[in-house]
């Protein structure tokens, strides 16, 4: 009988790149993910969202933009000196009907009697329109009512600026053009797709922390080194496995979104971006695992640093979520592709620095 390898359980006669210790470690770690119930649940939730995105996007968009969902007519009582401006603006808004009252007491009483969803009293205040809005504080319809009222007031402001611009003695900031964009389109490409593409790298980093710190805490790390493999090889193997599953998940989500009628352009650059982010966070997680040596401390540091790092990216010309959205809708610019190249460069540098630090931490190489 051929002697079994202490690392992979394969015979010594096996040869080729598949028997590389790093790939054996990577396959073992990926296979062990099925025993991590939290990770499996997170993957299943993402799978469900991607597989049924065309159905779920309607409900999710109602949270992202409550006014995009038709929920019946909203009746708003109007009173005051500038009530006509509110009535005129309401004519430009769907699902909103105004009822004019002669005085404030009448509109307040109608609201208390339940005849109105909301009430607006438009008074004159030193040449300006001051609007008092009365809306329910605790109601299932509160969010929708407030959203409709805010849109109504924005329309009044736009109309007044257009009407008064000719009589002003100085130029004003030009009004932005009104864009009739679908909230479903905006939600899908600025929220849903970035969320599905960034979750796999962050999960991979978290799993990498657990994979290494559990080896250290259980003492199995020393058993792996009996193979013999160096600490650098072990870290390489764990990194390969955790980094590889992120773009595979992302590709699956993109395919499932496509089957639901949500097409994403520039799939290859998107997968490159996901791979770069996965490399960065996995390398960070493994480095923290080596430094901390304990799962709890390493996971805490990983979570804090990832949140801080991702938050500071807002100072870039393009936030990563914006880069994903522009790639997905095929509106990427040169700056967008430069950002992708920058993330790849950072990933390569991070990987090389992590290998150097790991080699220094290995007592057998010192």
For the stretch 197-227, pLDDT in tens is: 998 899 888 888 888 887 777 776 666 666 5
State the Cα–Cα distance between residues 61 and 227, nearest whole angstrom: 53
**Pair type for strands 118-125 and 128-134:** antiparallel
Q: Which two tokens stand for residue 253?
A: 């989500």
pLDDT tens for each residue of 22-50? 777 777 777 776 666 666 777 777 777 76
Is the pLDDT at 168 greater than 80? The verdict is no
Quickly count: other Cβ atoms within 10 Å of residue 293's Cβ.
13
pLDDT tens for each residue of 331-341? 888 999 999 99
State the Cα–Cα distance between residues 131 and 37, nearest whole angstrom: 53
For position 8, what pLDDT does the model report? 44
Q: Which two tokens stand for residue 134?
A: 């009365």
State the Cα–Cα distance between residues 82 and 136, nearest whole angstrom: 23
For position 139, what pLDDT does the model report? 61
Is the pLDDT at 116 greater than 80? The verdict is yes
Least confident of 58-67, 109-118, 146-155, 251-260: 58-67
CB 274 within 8 A of CB 244: no
Q: Which CATH class, in words, describes the domain spanning 72-167?
A: alpha beta
At 68, which helix (H) or strand (E)?
A: none
Query: What mean pLDDT comes out for the span 97-114?
Result: 87
Is the pLDDT at 348 greater than 90? The verdict is yes
CB 325 within 8 A of CB 198: no
State the Cα–Cα distance between residues 108 and 111, nearest whole angstrom: 5
pLDDT band for position 123 (cuts 50, 70, 90): confident
Total count of residues recorded for the chain: 366
pLDDT tens for each residue of 58-84? 545 555 454 444 456 788 888 888 888
Whole-number average pLDDT of the chain: 78
Quickly count: other Cβ atoms within 10 Å of residue 42's Cβ.
17
For position 272, what pLDDT does the model report? 95
Helices in the chain by DSSP H: which ranges?
A: 21-31, 37-51, 53-64, 83-90, 104-112, 142-164, 183-187, 193-218, 220-225, 231-259, 267-292, 295-312, 320-328, 334-361
In percent, the amount of the chain with pLDDT more than 70 equals 74
Q: Which two tokens stand for residue 107?
A: 């509109």
Is the pLDDT at 351 greater than 70? The verdict is yes
Is the pLDDT at 1 greater than 70? The verdict is no
From first CA to last CA, the distance across the chain in angstroms is 38
Q: Which two tokens stand for residue 290?
A: 């080596």
Is the pLDDT at 55 greater than 90? The verdict is no
**Domain coordinates of the chain in residue numbers?**
17-60+182-361, 72-167
Is the pLDDT at 169 greater than 80? The verdict is no
CB 88 within 8 A of CB 82: no
Give every CB contact of residue 227 below 8 A, 6+ residues apart in sequence.
5, 6, 7, 21
Closest CA to 280 of 310, 311, 300: 310
Q: Which residues pair with 38 in a beta bridge?
A: none
Comparing 173 with 195, the larger pLDDT belongs to 195
For position 171, what pLDDT does the model report? 66
Beta strands per DSSP E along 80-191: 96-100, 118-125, 128-134
State the Cα–Cα distance between residues 326 and 318, nearest whole angstrom: 10
């Amino acid at each position: 009988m051929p002697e079994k390898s202490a690392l992979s359980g394969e015979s010594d006669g096996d040869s080729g790149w598949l028997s590389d210790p790093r790939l054996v470690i990577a396959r073992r770690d990926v296979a062990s993910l099925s025993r991590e119930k939290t990770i499996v649940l997170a993957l299943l939730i993402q799978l469900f969202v991607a597989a049924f995105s065309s159905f779920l996007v309607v409900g999710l968009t109602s949270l992202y933009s409550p006014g995009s969902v038709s929920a019946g007519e909203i009746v708003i009582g109007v009173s005051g000196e500038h009530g006509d401006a509110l009535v005129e603006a309401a004519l430009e808004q769907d699902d909103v009907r105004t009822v004019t009252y002669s005085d404030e007491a009448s509109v307040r009483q109608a609201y208390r009697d339940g005849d109105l969803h909301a009430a607006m009293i438009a008074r004159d205040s030193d040449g300006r329109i001051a609007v008092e809005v009365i809306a329910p504080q605790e109601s299932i319809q509160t969010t929708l009512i407030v959203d409709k009222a805010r849109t109504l007031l924005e329309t009044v402001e736009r109309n007044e600026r257009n009407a008064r611009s000719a009589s002003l003695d100085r130029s004003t900031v030009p009004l932005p053009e009104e864009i009739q964009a679908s909230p479903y389109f905006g939600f899908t490409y600025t929220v849903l797709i970035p969320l599905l593409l960034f979750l796999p790298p962050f999960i991979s980093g978290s799993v990498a922390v657990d994979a290494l710190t559990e080896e250290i805490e259980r003492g199995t790390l020393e058993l792996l080194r009996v193979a013999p493999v160096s600490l650098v090889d072990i870290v390489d193997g764990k990194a390969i496995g955790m980094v590889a599953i992120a773009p595979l998940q992302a590709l699956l989500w993109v395919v499932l979104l496509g089957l639901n009628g949500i097409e994403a352009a520039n799939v290859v650059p998107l997968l490159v971006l996901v791979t770069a982010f996965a490399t960065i966070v996995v390398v960070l997680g493994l480095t923290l695992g080596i430094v901390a040596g304990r799962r709890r401390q390493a996971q805490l540091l990983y979570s804090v640093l990832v949140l801080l790092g991702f938050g500071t990216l807002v100072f870039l010309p393009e936030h990563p979520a914006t880069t994903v959205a522009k790639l997905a809708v095929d509106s990427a610019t040169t700056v967008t592709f430069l950002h992708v190249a920058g993330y790849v460069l950072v990933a390569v540098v991070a990987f090389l620095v992590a290998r150097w630090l790991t080699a220094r931490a290995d007592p057998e190489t010192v």
